[in-house]
Chain A
Amino acid sequence: MSDSIAISNALASPRRMDSRRRFRQVVHRYPLGVAGAVLVVGVVLVALFAPVLSPYDPTATRFLPLDHPSAAHILGTDRTGRDVLSRTIWGSRTSLTIGAVSALLGTVCATVLGLVAGFFEGWPDYLIQRLSELLTMLPGLIFLFIWILVIGQGVATIIFALSFGGAFEGVRVIRGSVLSEKRKDYVDAARAMGAGNARLMFRHILPNVESLVVILATLRLPGVILAEATLSFLGIGVPPPLPSWGADLGGVARTYFQEQPYIVLAPGLALSLTVLGVSLFGDAIRDALDPRTRNTMM
């Protein structure tokens, strides 16, 4: 736990005398994590300043199709005459928004369900457990297919399906931890002082499983970003003409690789670097938060 304190100190107190030394410590201890953080911050900045950074409207089709890279179009244009650089820049917004919202919603649902199942046991536990068994019976991608069939293609569908799927993957972990927490003395003490169930669950037990919640969210994030891209690649994710790295890579894009390789390379590399950054950063956070995995996982 001392590492996470070191990190939060290093981040929270920039004016302290030894902040520079602490920063160096963090960089030394988690070199890959810092590299990941740099990538993540970079992508977030690009997403935030997309309107300033991108030279053209990402959905405008008024340019010459399949134009080679030039001063006007640094990465050329795609087959419908849209600027590849602008689409790649705006794609970061789609990817990060859907990823962050789904990972967050999924983790919140998993936490609430896990708390309920572990705290009350009995029939709510039985119900939640059987449901999670049922829902993890199918490969994730097939499950997403079914949701898209049932509620139709769209951004809301992707967010719903990804959050829902994530919720039931995390329930077991939270539940197990809640089961062991609630037998501890501090819970009895709080109960003796008159705390109700809701207060016990959210004010007393939740803070003690908090690091687990953060770990779940960091584990989930690269997965949901990849899942959105995969669905969009298959043509059933983000609907056109919204810029999405997966969608831009999909369909017939690859048949134009000979003439204009950047149609494939730009969104593919942007996606890979984003996932790489998020994974490396998440690994470092997990390492710092979870004493059991320290130095054993990456």
Chain B
Amino acid sequence: MAAYVIRRVVAFPPLLLAGAALVFLLLRVIPGDPVRGALGPDATAAQVSTLRHSLGWDQPLPIQFVHWLGDLARGDLGRSLVTGQPIGTQITSRLPVTLEILILAMMFSTALGVSFGLLSAIYRNQLVDHVIRVFSVASMSIPSFFALTLLIVLPARWWGYVPPLKYVPIWSSPGTNLQMFIPPVFILSLEMAAPLMRFTRSVCLDVLNQDYIRTARSKGLSERTVILRHMMKNCSVPIITILGLRMAALLGGTVILEQVMSLSGIGQFTYQSVISRDYGVVQVLTLYFGIVVMLSYLMVDLSYALLDPRIQYR
């Protein structure tokens, strides 16, 4: 087991390095000069070359890449080309917003997806099942940006309700904070829960068709025991896998949610830096997203090994 964990963790940095190199390279072949863009059209050639030199962008690409990695290793994420602010402090001030969205959305979508998926499988082809399935297709079809826009405009039109506009950290005023976060995150979670629900349903139906379920029933166990002890345990492994794999989609969802609800989190930061062509920031944020996604994949692999004793740790 320990060897397996070490093997998985050791495989992590090379992939990350390759990813960082790819993004670095892509962002350097961009047509147009980001330095000139940042200085504006009136900048002289001397000003451009001075800034370029101070950023180290007049050096060969491999050297630039090594410098960038070195800075990252020392905890220096660089500065924004557009605002001139250090990227690190921006990220730390925005992280609580995104983390809160991620945690709440993970909680909501897992609770909704797994419980409705189980219900749908247990009451297969009955009314409950049909209602849940239609609901899930519908929630997958309504794009989250449309649903979130309706969440803003409809309560305002019907009841004149306007949610709190200024972000308050959860530790200073939990009430206001949750009032601001729960409705939009719930809407986002509906969309995220739908694929999870379908997956849970199909996994549970697969398990329910197994011989050991028939055996459990025929030896007189109550349906409750069959479902709780025999079905759920065997469903849990694939469901946990898919939870980790949903992380990438969820991160994309935070970008849309933060943009529509004007929350200043990492997602909005990413969008703004793309709009303003702030390459240094895009580079760092891409690496951040890569790390989060890869960590969640790693956690899937490890929980797999923990939960299912049949899996060999090679």
Residues of A within 8 A of B (CB): 32, 130, 133-134, 136-142, 145-146, 148-150, 152, 222, 226, 229-230, 233-236, 246, 249-250, 254, 257-258, 261, 264, 268, 271-273, 275-276, 279-280, 283, 293, 296-298
> What is the CA–CA distance of A136 and B297 in the complex, to the nearest angstrom?
11
Given the contacts A139-B251, A148-B274, A280-B137, A229 and B143 also touching, CB distance less than 8 Å: yes
With most chain B CB atoms within 10 A of its CB, the pick from A139, A249, A271 is A139
Complex contacts, A296 vs chain B, CB 8 Å: 201-202, 205-206
CB proximity to A under 8 Å, residues B77-102: none
> What is the CA–CA distance of A298 and B133 in the complex, to the nearest angstrom?
7
Q: Is the interface of B mostly helix, strand, loop or mixed?
A: helix
The closest CB in chain A to the CB of B149 belongs to A254
Q: Is the interface of A mostly helix, strand, loop or mixed?
A: helix
The contact of B137 among A137, A236, A298, by CB within 8 Å, is: A298
A268 touches B146 (CB 8 A): yes
A293 touches B27 (CB 8 A): no
The contact of B252 among A140, A222, A229, A235, by CB within 8 Å, is: A140
Q: How far in angstroms is the closest Cβ of chain A from B155?
A: 11
> What is the CA–CA distance of A257 and B158 in the complex, to the nearest angstrom?
12
> What is the CA–CA distance of A138 and B271 in the complex, to the nearest angstrom?
15
Interface residues on B, range: 35 or more
12 contacts between A and B (CB under 8 A): A137-B294, A140-B249, A142-B286, A146-B282, A149-B27, A150-B26, A152-B31, A258-B157, A261-B153, A264-B150, A296-B206, A297-B198
A141 touches B255 (CB 8 A): yes
- Chain A binder among B16-24, B53-61, B215-223, B229-237: B16-24
Complex contacts, A273 vs chain B, CB 8 Å: 141
The contact of A268 among B18, B134, B150, B279, by CB within 8 Å, is: B150
B256 within 8 A of partner (CB): yes
A145 touches B274 (CB 8 A): yes
A138 touches B286 (CB 8 A): yes
The contact of B149 among A264, A293, A297, by CB within 8 Å, is: A264
CB proximity to A under 8 Å, residues B4-45: 15, 18-19, 22-23, 26-27, 29-31
B145 within 8 A of partner (CB): yes
> What is the CA–CA distance of A276 and B279 in the complex, to the nearest angstrom?
37
A249 touches B202 (CB 8 A): no
> What is the CA–CA distance of A249 and B255 in the complex, to the nearest angstrom?
17
Q: How far in angstroms is the closest Cβ of chain A from B200?
A: 11
Q: How far in angstroms is the closest Cβ of chain B from A94?
A: 15
The contact of A249 among B140, B149, B286, by CB within 8 Å, is: B149
B27 touches A150 (CB 8 A): yes
The 7 A-B residue pairs with the shortest CB-CB distance, nearest first, are A141-B252, A276-B141, A257-B153, A268-B146, A139-B252, A275-B141, A139-B251
With most chain A CB atoms within 10 A of its CB, the pick from B26, B137, B150, B152 is B137
The contact of A272 among B31, B146, B289, by CB within 8 Å, is: B146
> What is the CA–CA distance of A246 and B149 in the complex, to the nearest angstrom?
12
With most chain B CB atoms within 10 A of its CB, the pick from A134, A138, A250, A254 is A138
With most chain A CB atoms within 10 A of its CB, the pick from B29, B146, B251, B290 is B146
> What is the CA–CA distance of A32 and B142 in the complex, to the nearest angstrom?
17
> What is the CA–CA distance of A10 and B274 in the complex, to the nearest angstrom?
50
> What is the CA–CA distance of A293 and B134 in the complex, to the nearest angstrom?
18
B128 within 8 A of partner (CB): no
> What is the CA–CA distance of A296 and B206 in the complex, to the nearest angstrom?
8
Complex contacts, B275 vs chain A, CB 8 Å: 235-236
> What is the CA–CA distance of A283 and B137 in the complex, to the nearest angstrom?
10
A297 touches B202 (CB 8 A): yes
Given the contacts A142-B251, A264-B153, A296-B202, A233 and B145 also touching, CB distance less than 8 Å: yes
A134 touches B22 (CB 8 A): yes
B307 within 8 A of partner (CB): no
B264 within 8 A of partner (CB): no
A272 touches B293 (CB 8 A): no
